[in-house]
Chains A and B, each alone.
Chain A
Amino acid sequence: MDARQSGAILAVVTLNMDKVGGGAPIFFARDEDEQEKTARHLSKILDAVVHDLENGAYIIVRH
């Protein structure tokens, strides 16, 4: 998917590597604090929104 397009998943920040895979860049975090921090940085860098899938994975999505 074109990363400029609305709805594109730009990155995944996860606590659980087993649950994610696929095309978007994946960042592994050791704990929730690190996950929150990485996600915040990515959202500022990419001007995108952080969504919580409530399964230990955050996705960064451009809208």
Chain B
Amino acid sequence: MQELLPDYLAVILAGVLAGTAARIILLRIDYRQYPGYPHGYLSHVSLGFIASALGAVAVPAILKPDYTAVTFLALAAQQFREIRNMERRTLESLERTELVKRGLDYIEGIARTFEARNYLVMGTSFFTSLAAQFGGLPTACVAAAVLLMACSYFMSGEVLGDICDVVPADLSFRGSVLMVDEIGLMNVGLKSMREKILAEGLAVKIKPRDGNARATVHDIGQRMAVAFTAAVIVGTKKDVDTPELTPMARKNPDTGEVGLFILPVEKDMEQLIAAVKLTPVLESARSKPLKAGPVIKEAKRR
């Protein structure tokens, strides 16, 4: 078979196939954060194909040796930055008509992820072609499998359930202030609305397991992302003329715990808890104050 193919074609093909497969696998993971735009799917697979072709072609280019050819990788980087902009623009324009906002942090996170995934795809195809070049096709298959697993492992990312406990909480009113356990959320004036909220609302409490998690859920963008994910999964009865029913997450300033309130279409507590746990930890929200120990000590000493 290999004799029939022109030089390097098998190498390039192996890389392209592995890269495109990686893009498709990563796109499936995407669905949680980027639900259902078929044309987006197509354009990302196509761009993934281009990225993997670039990665795969780099190997023969180096071996040829045609070193200047590698500079087109810089062009590719430019192209992928454009992907980030494209994602951001799409989501930002959708945001304007979204009843429950994703929040800019979430959008930025998604856009960055889409860019990063193309680099991963390029890396996958590059290393697969490298393996094909020096070890033949069987080695390339093994390399591709390992790289694909690594890709899905690294890009699946942390979710809120990894760093916080999520427990059911009670909704009540103190005067006209809506409370989730001891956390005050908002002032609801209309009696009819209060009754509706008490009858149909659901609430959970997000309990950070340590100081790092507390700093993460302190982030407003992270809390918007939680409310958004919850609204996507259990639905929300909010409409344009009922802004009171907006899903909302507020924290207890003393303990750092966050109370989430939502008026779901489907009143299913387990589903809500699962949705909250599934929310990705946003890159921009992630912080690790506990790990600052040595640096802080050093600064204190000085």
Contact = CB atoms under 8 A, between A and B. Distances in A.
B176 A51 contact: yes
Interface centre among B189, B191, B241, B243 (most CB of A within 10 A): B189
A12 to B, nearest CB: 11
Contact of A52 (B187, B240, B241, B246): B187
A36 B241 CA distance: 16
A50 B241 CA distance: 11
A51 B187 contact: yes
Contact of B241 (A47, A51, A59): A47
A47 B242 CA distance: 7
B187 A36 contact: no
A63 B243 contact: yes
A41 B84 CA distance: 44
A63 B175 CA distance: 21
A59 B244 CA distance: 13
Interface in A8-58: 36, 39-40, 43-44, 47-52, 54, 58
A58 B188 CA distance: 10
Nearest to A60: B189
B243 A48 contact: yes
A52 B243 contact: no
Contacts of A36: 190-192
Contacts of A40: 190, 192
Interface string B180-203: 000000111111110000000000
Interface residues on A, range: 10 to 19
Given A52-B176, A54-B176, A43 B190 contact: yes
Interface centre among B175, B240, B241 (most CB of A within 10 A): B241
Contacts of A63: 243, 246
Given A51-B176, A52-B176, A58 B243 contact: no
A32 to B, nearest CB: 9
Nearest to B244: A49
Contacts of B193: 50
Contacts of B175: 52, 54
Given A51-B176, A52-B176, A54-B175, A39 B241 contact: no
Nearest to B240: A47
Interface string B136-173: 00000000000000000000000000000000000000
A57 to B, nearest CB: 10
B132 to A, nearest CB: 57
20 contacts: A36-B190, A39-B190, A40-B192, A43-B190, A43-B241, A47-B240, A47-B243, A48-B243, A49-B186, A50-B188, A50-B244, A51-B187, A51-B188, A52-B189, A54-B175, A54-B176, A58-B189, A59-B189, A63-B243, A63-B246
Given A49-B243, A52-B187, 16 more contacts: A36-B192, A39-B190, A43-B190, A43-B241, A44-B241, A48-B243, A49-B188, A49-B244, A50-B244, A51-B188, A52-B175, A52-B176, A52-B189, A54-B176, A59-B189, A63-B246
Interface of B: 175-176, 186-193, 240-241, 243-244, 246
